[in-house]
Structure 1
Amino acid sequence: MKILVSLVSLIAFLLVLLPGPLYKFDVVELGTAFAGFKFGVYAGGAALLLLLVQVIFMRKTVTLGSAATAVIFSAIAIAMPLNMMNTAKSVPPIHDISTDLVNPPEFIAIAPLRADASNPVEYAGEETAVQQRKAYPELATLNFAQSKTDLVKATEQAVQNLGWELVNTDISKGIVEATETTAWFGFKDDVVVRINDEGSERFVDIRSKSRVGRSDLGKNAERIHTLIDELNAVLTK
């Protein structure tokens, strides 16, 4: 029983740990990867149940180390997918976020890179905008006094500081485009920053969009906030 509990808990752990890297390196499809989470929860629950049976009926075979390991592996296998599900329920099922919902910044150099993406490069539309306004009302066009050139350079520096891939910089158009690749699943999410020069003020808009998936689990809004914070940090240096 001790070996069985350890084996099932390890399998549960691997079922939630490996889907990301396996998808990232094109070993499995996204649907298969997410299925691993479901089976990981089941296996984690089974491991805890088996451990309970062992404790009740075979107490002499239980050791602190093996029991603790089984509990930790099983808890991770159960908690990670459930946490993702709770996050998904707390945010709208959208994947295209912009500070300007009337005229969102357009992807230029990134557009051909998204040719095979399941989410098209075009803005998701008014339905998405309505959901964003409710979920992220704080996201709005930014206002700066610095020149367009300085803001483009600062944005470029902020992107580099964050470790994102800088795809395109166009000072004349006030455009900076970048891609962030997530560590676990290797998802590629794209960002475009647009800087408009209007007299003594510069207006900055940021758009972040996932290439795959219906819901981004709030990641694109989080990414915009992160970029804003980093841009402000660069400008104050």
Structure 2
Amino acid sequence: MQAMEKPHGSIWLARLCLLLGAGSVVMALVGAIGAGQDWWGKLEGLSVVMAAVVVALVALLFSLIVLLLYRKKGTAIRNMTLIGLVCSLGFLGVIGYWVNVGRSVPQIHDITTNLDNPPEFRVLKLRPDDFADVPGRGEAKYAGMDAMERWKLLHGAAYGDLRTVTVALPVDKAVALAEQVARKRGWEIAAVRPDEGRLEAVDTVSLFRFKDDIVVRVQPGPGGLTSQIDVRSVSRVGRSDLGVNAKRIRGFLKDLKAAALKG
């Protein structure tokens, strides 16, 4: 009776490639979801994701080596290695995309339509370190500028399209419409004050469930028949918001103007 042929040793390397590639994706998801569910902190979750990037890089390297050396040793070896390669490449591609986004926007997290007079939070609290780590400290081109001045310069260069918006509604109706739009966008309303022309809300984003605080200020225009609306959106965690706050403000104002025209 013919003895059963033992599997080639490279099958274990292929399994390792699969384990590392798929494992890096699972590891990152666990880190993000765990942080979002408050099983651990946001920074701890980010650390897990960064560790997963290292695992994915190792998986990518191993997969390329195994494919190069053992691609002719059998379909199972090739397929497992390819799956590991695709998993690691896909995950690294996603991370690369967000790294590129991060490089395309300034390292700030407080975004508004009015740099000279940003809306103030009264119910929600502005993070105490909001302007503690604005980029440019000690750099020659920002010489003589304090953190607020550097923030305005960076903000204006990146988000110059964000401006005060005027709608043809009195203040109380504009606030009511702002609340309606905010609820449709899934924001958690923290305060609605038509008499003060103010709305405050919280938006939750990504698997990490990051919390961003928003304040909408509505002021009467000339004659009281129009309203001037400013928005401020601030991330609670992190130095950079990856452009999320500006995108949120643009989307909100677009929806608000469309709703005002319909109404």
Fold-level similarity (TM above 0.5): yes
CA contact (8 A) 2:168 2:260 kept: no
Aligned mates of 1:15, 1:84 — CA distance in 2: 18
1:24 corresponds to 2:49: no
Q: Deviations over 1:83-113 (max 9, x none)?
A: 22211111001010111111110011112xx
Aligned mates of 2:205, 2:152 — CA distance in 1: 24
Correspondence for 2:158 among 135, 144, 161:
135
Correspondence for 1:236: 261
Gaps of at least 5 residues in structure 1 are none
- Change beyond 3 A, Cα 1:31–1:118: farther
CA contact (8 A) 2:167 2:257 kept: no
Aligned mates of 1:31, 1:169 — CA distance in 2: 32
1:21 Cα deviation after fit: 1.2
Normalising by structure 2, we get a TM-score of 0.81
- Change beyond 3 A, Cα 1:198–1:13: same
Gaps of at least 5 residues in structure 2 are 1-12, 133-146
Aligned mates of 1:134, 1:56 — CA distance in 2: 48
Q: Which shifted more, 128-137 or 54-63?
A: 54-63
| Secondary structure of the structure 1 residue equivalent to 2:174 | helix
1:120 Cα deviation after fit: 4.7
Q: Which shifted more, 155-164 or 195-204?
A: 195-204
Aligned mates of 1:103, 1:193 — CA distance in 2: 13
Correspondence for 2:58: 46
Q: Which shifted more, 135-144 or 13-22?
A: 13-22
1:25 Cα deviation after fit: 2.4
1:179 Cα deviation after fit: 0.4
| Secondary structure of the structure 2 residue equivalent to 1:236 | helix
Aligned mates of 1:40, 1:118 — CA distance in 2: 31
Correspondence for 2:84: 70
Correspondence for 2:246: 221
State the aligned residue count: 232
Q: Deviations over 1:40-88 (max 9, x none)?
A: 2222222122222222332224436434421221012212222222111
Aligned mates of 2:103, 2:184 — CA distance in 1: 32
Paired-residue identity, %? 31
Aligned mates of 2:43, 2:118 — CA distance in 1: 30
Structure number with larger C-alpha Rg? 2
RMSD over aligned Cα, in angstroms? 2.1
